[in-house]
Amino acid sequence: MYTENNTQSQDIVCKVPVTEEEAFKILDEIFTLEEKRMAIEETKEEFTANEHFELGMWIRNNWIYPPEDANNDTVERYMKCYAMLTGTKPDEPMLEHPDSVSGEFLGRYYDHLKESVHVNDPAIPVRRKPVKCPHCGSKVLRIQYGYPGHEMMEAAERGEILLGGCCISPDSPDYGCPTCGQSFIKTVFYDR
């Protein structure tokens, strides 16, 4: 799932998390909704095995091994990250092999995805476009349907819209969350 040329991840690579929440947030920003959707279709064992040489290696190279020219503050941050990944204290010696550490963390990230990705949830009826997603707090975007032309593709790449596909039906959602996948359908509420 992780790709080296993911432009969004370039800014994230230098951040070394010290809490699990920070780590999940960084990974949530790296992965697209489609990649998250594919991940939760796998079992936990399949996900950790399939990601061992991709995401697992990225975690080991960016969060476990400090750079050779690291100063004391940087090394301390790496130690805190290692402690978070292993559930130990920062001043305890590093006893676990980095492969085991990243594998254990991949399992916890999978559990996080299962809880936080809402791609299979039914669309929530709304009167108007929500500003933020009630699940994850991300900005909700309009879903654009039809065969995407150049302008539509650019708008999607800029994060201004979500692509909904070529076919539309009466129950197709109008808005969606680009982070967790929750969708929203505009409905008219009549007062009686």
Indicate the average pLDDT of the chain: 83
Tens digits of residue pLDDT in 63-89: 888 777 777 777 777 888 888 887 777
pTM tops 0.75: no
d(CA 128, CA 75): 49
Tell the burial category of 6 from Cβ atoms under 10 Å away from its Cβ (0-12, 13-18, 19+): middle
HSE-up of residue 111 (Cα within 13 Å, Cβ side):
8
DSSP-derived 3-state class of residue 56: helix
Choose between 49 and 93: higher pLDDT: 49
